Structure 1
Amino acid sequence: MRWEERDLSYTVKPGDTLYRVAFQHQLDHRDLAWWNGIGRDGTLQPGQILRLDPPLPGELRRPHVPSNSGVVSSRRPPAEPVARPSTPRPAAPAQPRATPRPASAPVVGPKRWQWPVRGPLLARFAPAQGRKGIDIGGKAGETIAAAADGKVVYAGGALKGYGELVIIKHGEDYLTAYGHNAKLLVQEGQQIKAGQAIATMGLGPQNRPLVHFEIRRLGQPVDPEPLLP
Structure 2
Amino acid sequence: MDLENTTTRLATTLRSGTKTSFRVLVIATIWLALAACSSTVVRETSSTPSRTASQPKPGQTVRVQRGDTLYGIAFRNGIDQRDLASWNGIAAPYTIYPGQILKLYPGSGRASTSGTTTPRPPAATTTPRPVPPPATVTRPPVIQNPASSGFAWRWPAEGHIIGRFTAGDATKQGIDIAGSSGQAVRAAADGVVVYSGAGLVGYGELVIIKHSEAWLSAYGHNRKRLVNEGQNVKAGQQIAEMGSSGAAREMLHFEIRYNGKPVDPMLYLPKR
Question: Which TM-score tier does this pair reach, normalised by the shorter chain?
Answer: 0.7 to 0.9
Number of positions where the alignment pairs a residue of Structure 1 with one of Structure 2: 178
Q: 1:178 aligns with which of 190, 196, 219?
A: 219
1:45 alignment partner AA: Y
**Corresponding residue for residue 180 of structure 2:** 139
SS in 2 for 1:160: coil
Please list the CA deviations of residues 95-148 of structure 1 after superposition, one character each: whole Å capped at 9, or x if unmatched.
Answer: xxxxxxxxxxxx773510011012100000014442100000111110000000
SS in 2 for 1:213: strand
Q: Identity percentage over the alignment?
A: 51
Q: Which has the higher contact order (CA 8 A, sep 6+)?
A: 2
Larger strand fraction of residues: 1
1:223 alignment partner AA: D
**Corresponding residue for residue 30 of structure 2:** none
Question: Residue 194 and residue 7 in structure 1: after superposition, are their counterparts in 2 closer, same or farther (change >3 A)?
Answer: farther
Query: Does 2:154 correspond to 1:114?
Result: yes
Question: Residue 198 and residue 6 in structure 1: after superposition, are their counterparts in 2 closer, same or farther (change >3 A)?
Answer: farther
Separation (CA, whole Å) in 1 of partners of 2:148 and 2:266 = 18
**Corresponding residue for residue 168 of structure 1:** 209
1:198 alignment partner AA: I
**Corresponding residue for residue 79 of structure 2:** 27
Query: Does 2:243 correspond to 1:202?
Result: yes
In structure 1, stretches of 5+ residues that fail to align are: 58-106
1:53 alignment partner AA: Y
Separation (CA, whole Å) in 2 of partners of 1:212 and 1:7 = 31
**Corresponding residue for residue 227 of structure 1:** 268
2:204–2:247 contact (8 Å) kept in structure 1: no
In structure 2, stretches of 5+ residues that fail to align are: 1-54, 110-146
SS in 2 for 1:20: helix
2:163 alignment partner AA: A
State which structure, 1 or 2, has the greater radius of gyration over its C-alpha atoms: 2
SS in 1 for 2:241: strand
SS in 2 for 1:203: coil
1:30 alignment partner AA: R
Q: 1:150 aligns with which of 191, 205, 209?
A: 191
